[in-house]
Amino acid sequence: MSAREQRVLRLACIDSEALPLFAKSPNGIDRSGYEPDAAAAIAARIGARVEWVMLPWEEMIPAVRRGDADAVWCGQGETAERAALVDFTRPYAVFNESLVVRADDPVRSAAELAGYRIGAIAHSTNMKLAETFPGVELVSFGASDDVFGDMIEATRSGSIDGFVDDDVVMVPLAAEDPDFVEAFTVQTGNRWGVGVAPGNEALRAELNAALEAAVADGELERIWQRWMPLLPFPLVSEPGQ
């Protein structure tokens, strides 16, 4: 089969700067980072190439359910709410969650956050964690193509006091931008999966088999180490998933 005739796997994701997960696309087509590289490797195993369908965060799952994308591969921690809308594959990543604040803020625990304005992506696992912080005012983000950048700038400007996101993007932010510091990390161990349309068991089974093989032969770990060498590879073989 020629490249022109090759099967296409349409994957929904936001177009945002959130390395090492993904960088903002330079052209609206190509993407780089752990998620795009992992997706490309898994697609190749099922004889497909990836076509990215770039959407605001809150439109990704609806696009999959409408058939405008085959699956969402974009920071989808497995929650009961999402599992009611899409069928998840086995995980391609497991992450914890961190709170980032401005560098001059001394807070280092959830118990110190009373009165703080804390941001998180609406309906995310990050927001669920923020909801457990006592006495905080929650600020939802999501109606944007670059929600991660919006939260960074809202914290930088002082319109919020900090925000919760996954440790994989927060660790490099705090290390590379002197305006921010990682206040603390909660060991939530969120499993991230690929969300396919309900009932599309054929695609889910294909992706599961490809993910299992990529974990078993070390390909996914090599991609992980390329982008996230400071985080231990968290996945083990799960035959039969």
The CATH number linked to 128 is 3.40.190.10
Residue 114 pLDDT > 70: yes
In this structure, are 111 and 73 located in the same domain? no
What is the predicted pLDDT for the residue at 144?
77
In this structure, are 158 and 197 located in the same domain? no
- Residues 172-182 have pLDDT tens digits of 899 999 999 99
In this structure, are 54 and 129 located in the same domain? no
Residue 1 pLDDT > 70: no
In this structure, are 81 and 107 located in the same domain? no
52, 25 Cβ separation under 8 angstroms: yes
What is the predicted pLDDT for the residue at 5?
79
What is the pLDDT of the chain when averaged over all its residues? 94
Determine the average pLDDT of the residues in 181-206. 97
What is the predicted pLDDT for the residue at 4?
59
In this structure, are 76 and 139 located in the same domain? no
Range(s) of the domain holding residue 174? 95-189
Residue 138 lies in a domain: yes
Determine the average pLDDT of the residues in 68-91. 96
In this structure, are 202 and 158 located in the same domain? no
Residue 1 lies in a domain: no
> How much is the pTM?
0.85
Determine the average pLDDT of the residues in 201-216. 98
Give how many domains the chain has, as a whole number. 2
Determine the average pLDDT of the residues in 63-86. 96
